[in-house]
Amino acid sequence: MTESVPPAHGPTPGSVCRRGAGIVALLLLAGTHVAPLRTGGRAAYLDAGLATVAAAALLTAGLLAARDTRWDWYGAGLLAAAALAGYLVSRGIGWPGASTVVGHWRSPAGTAAVAADLLTLAVVAAGPVSERHAGAARTEPGRPPGPSPRTRP
């Protein structure tokens, strides 16, 4: 009876789960930034910013679905951090022409957007940990699992 050895290259179950979680988080991020566009009443540049964040989240989710590179994950993290920073500015000191939301920390739409931003950041941050564990599980074809012969105990 032969044991099946996972290929040296290719997705691991953990990387597939992380990739799916990242795509879902980015889709939530996009949705939470599109929803406020229905109400209007903001400065035009703020609506453009919300639309840009939503479009960038959709693009990044598509890139993760298609290729899953380190740069795609960096982009996802940067996008979520920028969106979170924008929220903090809007509720803290306010944006020009949008002082009505200053101090409204319990807005349902804002809370949902922050949750999506934080979820995206959490999935991105989990990457280095899951990649370390996945690297230990992968082996070269024909070599049994375990430490590399080059390592000394």
pTM for the full predicted model: 0.74
pLDDT at position 68: 84
Q: Which residues pair with 68 in a beta bridge?
A: none
pLDDT at position 23: 95
pLDDT at position 100: 78
pLDDT at position 5: 44
Which mean pLDDT values do the consecutive 10-residue runs of the chain (153 residues) have?
51 78 95 86 87 96 91 95 94 84 85 94 81 51 56 55
Q: Which residues pair with 95 in a beta bridge?
A: 98
10 vs 32: CA distance, rounded Å = 33
Q: At what angle do helices 70-92 and 13-34 cross, to 10 degrees?
A: 30
Residue 145 region by backbone torsions, left for phi larger than 0, else alpha for psi between -120 and 50, else beta: beta
> Hunting for tokens 């990044």 — which residue is that?
60
pLDDT at position 94: 86
Amino acid 138 reads R
Span 46-88, pLDDT tens digits: 889 999 999 999 999 999 999 888 899 999 999 999 999 999 9
pLDDT at position 26: 96
pLDDT at position 113: 93
Coil vs helix vs strand at 98: strand
> Hunting for tokens 């979680």 — which residue is that?
21
Distance of CA 120 to the CA centre of its chain: 3
pLDDT at position 4: 45
